Structure 1
Amino acid sequence: MALYLYLQLPSLLVDCVSPLPAKVPLAVADAQHRLVQLNAEAAARGITLGMSLGTAAALCADLQLLPYQTERQQQLLQSVAQQLYQLTADIALDPPDGLYLRLCAMLRLYRGLNGYWQVLYKALQALGYRYQFSCGTTPLAAKCLARQQLNLLSADSTGLSAALKRSPLVASELSLPLQQQLKRLGINTLGQLLALAPAELSRRFEPELLSYLGRLNGDFYHALNYIQPAPGFSRYIELLYDIADTRVLTAPLSSLLQQLSMQLKQRDALCYQLQLSLHFRSGRPAIVLAVGSAQGEYLPERWLMLCQLQLCRLKLAEPVSGLELNCDDFKPRQAQTAALFDNSVATLSPLQLVSLLEARLGRGAISSLSLQNQHLPELASRRQPPLWTQQSQHQKQQNQSGGGAALKPVIPLALRPAFILPSPRPLTEPVEITSGPERLCPNGWQLAAQRDYFIGRNRKGQWLWLYRTVSQQWFVHGLFS
């Protein structure tokens, strides 16, 4: 037996708004100035769907309004489908606010309808959108029952058929003139309509009626266009109030990161780069922040920390009206292994620390030092990307050489300091010489430029790289790490 579940999300544009203060009535109005979505507080004030703006304003003076956005509604519906794709293989969109879920192939995996619903329920609760649902033996039967807010979870075809026959015509997708014509004939429910002979219906009514009843009963094939998984993540959240302080953006941003984390966990994946876009109501181009993690993260609190470090450096020219979070690609997560007898637990890994520093100071502000095979002190070290090792440099050289003969990595001269002073400074403290001298002539081996280098240790325990000139003057040129 075929079994479908229809999910209706009647208030996507309202529910996607950033967390509201308590008891704030909110509604969405279409181009005809009719209310098409509202939150629970607005409903508690006596406001109903289809009500005009004038009537709603008279009932609730502090009602907050949003315009209906067809494109945004479609994006939200698509995002919900992508979030649920890991739980259900066959999902089809039914714009503007519905989803068809084909359950036949999933019940064995989840050991029945109840096991499947428990997993799906947790995912829907995490998304935070209001919904109503129903099962049905055909896609249109499930939709008809769900739009009556029956919330039927059953695989019993007899019970589902009885509920469908009790459904009023207004719950169907028949046109309003056709419904009125049927009511004039005394037909008020789908059961009364289905009891009539198809030949009689085809003689008196348009083919639209027979086509709908055939797909409703399963006599005609109902084709559904099932979605394919998207490669990344893209979500937008509308702010009810414009926010000028970047610190206040933490709450709506956390909601977006929670959705990202749920999708990453479902796919057992990590992401290394996020794009956080700050949108403005005036039409000013959005500010796009590239937030990266060298190690890759999936936990929302980790990404929130990296985003906050970039937001705190940002100066806004005007308040923010919306946030958008994008991630183009996910990477498979690999298990991290540690030493068997290592009892120490680090709060941050080296890659996580680098990511935090880059988010706070900027990508080009972080580097490390490497020793070079140069006899001149000024060339003994150079700046390089953080955590860049001789092994990674060797691998890069092999890649650039086309995988041919292996290139030998650079082996630096022994006993070179990691930190060279911008300019040598006179030695003004007693030191203990431990090794040397090593004679270097930076300027064409001229006698006056000769320097005899030593390694010494001062009373503070610092290891210094010293040199003595021909005139017996002592200078500090570098420090060992």
Structure 2
Amino acid sequence: MLYLYLQFPALQLESLTSETTVKLPIAVVDEKHQIVQCNKQATELGIKLGMQLGTAAGLCPNLQLIPYQIDAQQQALQSVAQQLYQVSSDIALDPPSGLYLRLCNMLALYQGINGYWQAVTAELALLPYQYFYATGGTPFIAKCLARLQLNSVSDNVSSSFEIVKRSPLNATELDTDIQQQLTRLGIHNLGQLLNLATAELARRFDSRLLNYLGQLRGDFYHALNYIQPQQGFSRYLELLYDITDTKGLTAPLSSLLTQLEQQLTRANARCHQLQISLFFRAKPALLLEVGSAQAESSAKRWLTLCQHHLERLMLPEPVTGLKLKVHSFTRPQQLNDDLFQPQQGNVSALQLVATLQAKLGNAAVTGLNLENQHWPELASSQHSPLMSANQQIAALTLRPAFLLAKPLPLNETIEINSGPERLCQDGWQLHAQRDYFVGRSKTGQWLWLYRTPEQRWFVQGLFS
């Protein structure tokens, strides 16, 4: 067996600061007021992991603090695992900051450990997180060496076991009380501990120590819960600072859309709809649905559509975080363009519809279907844009470009140019007939008029 362990020392902090230009020292503080994560600027000023908040504030008065959030850490770790699932099948979470990857069934696919590691590092390069790594014959050996920042991959299991013997006890999974007991006995590294007789350890310590050593050597089975691939896409991003203007959401949203594009590209897929959730401190989350009639995979294209929606949005209060979710993917459509057809533009009809819907709203963009009716207000109906519709056009005379939503009574003198043309509903009943004319007003406007059997005149439409 061969395992790879990846440790990410600053997941929450790097997920917040990856898309910002903030150059201030920043640190993440847990509930015990200890520094658990810090950026490069803070490290250069003497801030260290495990340091108490008071000491850190004395060294760096302008240190920016972020409370540690286990949910944000877990979501970031899950997103890394889903990213690596594209190149490695057996991945297990080791919260709050580590991943186990089983390599033995992947080396043949990548023709050795070097090819496999190149595929893994290519995926990790797409993410903003720093990491430490190591390989070993058991999960605990790989984790222990990664904690020591060995940063080496090798399929030589015996060599990694010899290296781990020199590891200090604080790099192991042993509880603090067991480490203190071993230190009082003069045992300071794993090599000294492994040389002790099992019976002597069983007499002095409880089963926790023996179970750890058994799993470290590989004598005991180490069960790992391997993840399953997620359907669709889901990422949450907490903002480093509150955003009061929708234009400020462009940078963090672009980061999430880039991750979506990477996953869609690897899956050779596209998506029709996004769900963007905006989170606030006091107000409930605001859900924004962005759709595209033509399935898209480009982050740039999706960002344009999202910006059109955000332009029409009024924020109830500053945004503290946002989440991007896609429920399902679809395969790209096959394009059957005519080789000899001249190029009309870079935007397809479906992309144009999506842009108009994003700017004007879905209800404002519709298609037109011709109905088997004579009266103009019943001769057409609306449907979804670009859907197949009845295109049978009756052999009728000239029709106006603009129909009034409701016919208006004629209140001026009109010069009749052509007509009449009799249209009737309900089996040519006398009370339902209309005689249509084309006339011109005194201002020169061409009108489409009709006369009822009661000799009343109405304006039905306007010619352009």
In the superposition, the TM-score normalised over structure 2's length comes to: 0.88
1:477 equivalent among 456, 461, 464: 461
Residue of structure 2 in register with 1:300 after alignment: 299
Deviates more, 1:39-48 or 1:138-147: 39-48
Residue of structure 2 in register with 1:256 after alignment: 256
Structure 2 unaligned residues grouped into runs of 5+: none
Q: Is the 8 A contact 1:427 1:474 kept in 2?
A: no
Residue of structure 2 in register with 1:9 after alignment: 8
Residue of structure 2 in register with 1:413 after alignment: 394
1:23-34 alignment, distance < 5 Å: 23-34=23-34
**In 1: Cα distance, 2:80 partner to 2:309 partner:** 28
1:21-420 alignment, distance < 5 Å: 21-281=21-281, 283-344=282-343, 346-390=345-389, 411-415=392-396, 417=399, 419-420=402-403
Deviation of the 1:40 alpha carbon: 1.5
Return the letter of the residue paired with 1:284.
K
**In 2: Cα distance, 1:429 partner to 1:109 partner:** 84
Residue by residue, what CA displacement relative to the aligned partner does 1:235-285 show, whole Å, maximum 9, x if unpaired? 11111111111111111111111111112222222221211111112x211
Residue by residue, what CA displacement relative to the aligned partner does 1:369-424 show, whole Å, maximum 9, x if unpaired? 2222111122222222211222xxxxxxxxxxxxxxxxxx6844234747424447
Return the letter of the residue paired with 2:198.
P
Q: Is the 8 A contact 2:244 2:319 kept in 1?
A: yes
Deviates more, 1:4-13 or 1:335-344: 335-344
Q: Is the 8 A contact 2:369 2:391 kept in 1?
A: no
Return the letter of the residue paired with 1:439.
R
Deviation of the 1:126 alpha carbon: 1.1
Q: Is the 8 A contact 2:421 2:437 kept in 1?
A: yes
**In 1: Cα distance, 2:322 partner to 2:164 partner:** 42
**In 1: Cα distance, 2:367 partner to 2:214 partner:** 71
Return the letter of the residue paired with 1:369.
L
* SS of structure 2 residue aligned to 1:440: strand
Q: Is the 8 A contact 1:234 1:327 kept in 2?
A: yes
Deviation of the 1:469 alpha carbon: 6.0
* SS of structure 1 residue aligned to 2:125: helix
Residue by residue, what CA displacement relative to the aligned partner does 1:293-322 show, whole Å, maximum 9, x if unpaired? 111111111111111111111112321111
Q: Is the 8 A contact 2:258 2:299 kept in 1?
A: yes
Residue by residue, what CA displacement relative to the aligned partner does 1:424-448 show, whole Å, maximum 9, x if unpaired? 78898998x8xx8743257976599
The number of equivalent residue pairs is 451
Q: Is the 8 A contact 1:374 1:413 kept in 2?
A: no
Deviation of the 1:169 alpha carbon: 1.4
Residue of structure 2 in register with 1:404 after alignment: none
**CA 1:130–1:240 in 2, change beyond 3 Å: closer, same or farther?**
same
Q: Is the 8 A contact 1:373 1:410 kept in 2?
A: no
Return the letter of the residue paired with 1:477.
G
**In 2: Cα distance, 1:25 partner to 1:204 partner:** 46
**In 2: Cα distance, 1:359 partner to 1:247 partner:** 16
**In 2: Cα distance, 1:205 partner to 1:441 partner:** 99
Q: Is the 8 A contact 1:279 1:320 kept in 2?
A: yes
**CA 1:84–1:415 in 2, change beyond 3 Å: closer, same or farther?**
farther
Deviation of the 1:35 alpha carbon: 1.1
**In 1: Cα distance, 2:432 partner to 2:368 partner:** 31
**CA 1:340–1:317 in 2, change beyond 3 Å: closer, same or farther?**
same
Return the letter of the residue paired with 2:257.
L
Aligned-residue Cα RMSD (Å) equals 3.1
**In 1: Cα distance, 2:298 partner to 2:32 partner:** 43
1:451 equivalent among 435, 449, 463: 435
**CA 1:290–1:429 in 2, change beyond 3 Å: closer, same or farther?**
farther
Residue of structure 2 in register with 1:400 after alignment: none
**In 1: Cα distance, 2:396 partner to 2:218 partner:** 83
**In 2: Cα distance, 1:334 partner to 1:104 partner:** 38
* SS of structure 2 residue aligned to 1:223: coil
Deviation of the 1:219 alpha carbon: 1.2
Deviates more, 1:420-429 or 1:132-141: 420-429
Q: Is the 8 A contact 2:13 2:38 kept in 1?
A: yes
**In 1: Cα distance, 2:266 partner to 2:395 partner:** 50
Deviation of the 1:80 alpha carbon: 1.6
Deviates more, 1:364-373 or 1:339-348: 339-348
Structure 1 unaligned residues grouped into runs of 5+: 391-408, 457-461
Return the letter of the residue paired with 1:149.
Q
Q: Is the 8 A contact 1:427 1:475 kept in 2?
A: no
Residue of structure 2 in register with 1:459 after alignment: none
Deviation of the 1:166 alpha carbon: 1.8
Residue of structure 1 in register with 2:423 after alignment: 440
**In 2: Cα distance, 1:429 partner to 1:261 partner:** 62
Deviates more, 1:372-381 or 1:252-261: 372-381
**CA 1:447–1:58 in 2, change beyond 3 Å: closer, same or farther?**
closer
Deviation of the 1:92 alpha carbon: 0.5
**CA 1:230–1:379 in 2, change beyond 3 Å: closer, same or farther?**
same
**In 1: Cα distance, 2:433 partner to 2:333 partner:** 55
* SS of structure 2 residue aligned to 1:92: strand
Q: Is the 8 A contact 1:24 1:64 kept in 2?
A: yes
Deviation of the 1:30 alpha carbon: 1.0
**In 2: Cα distance, 1:214 partner to 1:151 partner:** 25
**CA 1:278–1:197 in 2, change beyond 3 Å: closer, same or farther?**
same
Deviates more, 1:126-135 or 1:174-183: 174-183
Deviation of the 1:105 alpha carbon: 1.2
Return the letter of the residue paired with 1:274.
L
**In 1: Cα distance, 2:425 partner to 2:392 partner:** 21
Identity within the alignment, % = 53
**In 1: Cα distance, 2:88 partner to 2:430 partner:** 79
**In 2: Cα distance, 1:421 partner to 1:427 partner:** 19
